[in-house]
Amino acid sequence: MEKDHKGHGAPEETAADGAKRGRRTSSREKNRSQDETKRDREQSEWEEKIIQVRRVTKVVKGGKKLSFRAVVAVGNNKGQVGIGIGKASEVIVAIQKGVADARKSLISVPLIGATLPHQIVGKQGSSRVLLKPAAKGTGVIAGGASRAILELAGVGDVMSKSLGSRSPLNVARATVNGLNELRTFDQSARLRGITVQQMLN
């Protein structure tokens, strides 16, 4: 009988040890899965759009050197957007560098609902981009680089017009410049040192 008790006792200990070990591994797996889900959420919040990819030829001693320049816009559709440039000998590497550069130059866009607080003209070089707030349901009336940036910034109703040079990079930078210069009523009142009611009156 003693042998039977010992025989029955051994698997119980191993089962208990196995259960403890199983709990430890499951907690580690949970932590890993939570970290992975957080990373996925952070990555899913940010969207990327390629505005332009150009092949650049540089004349060097001994011949020509080919490389690629990628203009990329990054945004979270919640009022944050940025633009970046990446240069590399391969297209994929250039895009990756552009995304990293865009995330370093993010700006916050003040929105009233889904539109802009006021009209503004963004400037960059010889490019001018006119941005006008629009009524609900108008949509994004824009083209090219400015459309991509406005959509990534989360602007749902806006009218824009490109004035001057239509270079994609300059138009994109002019759009970002215009969005960066936007001010809400509260911000304007604080800058002037008065209340919103005094400013409206």
pLDDT at residue 30 in the model:
58
Q: Where are the domains of the chain?
A: 47-185
166, 196 Cβ separation under 8 angstroms? no
Of 118, 165, 169, 126, residue with least CA distance to 146: 169
On average, the pLDDT of the chain sits at 83
What number is the average pLDDT over the span 116-134? 93
Name the band, by pLDDT with cuts 50, 70 and 90, for residue 20: very low
In which element (H, E) is residue 63 found?
A: strand 63-75
In which element (H, E) is residue 164 found?
A: strand 158-164
What number is the average pLDDT over the span 65-83? 94
What number is the average pLDDT over the span 171-191? 88
Q: What is the pTM of this model?
A: 0.73
- φ and ψ at residue 111, rounded to 5 degrees: -115, 145
pLDDT at residue 12 in the model:
46
User: 133: buried, middle or exposed (CB in 10 Å: 19+, 13-18, 0-12)?
Assistant: buried
CATH code, 47-185: 3.30.230.10
Helix axes 168-180, 144-153, angle to 10 degrees: 40
147: pLDDT strictly greater than 50: yes
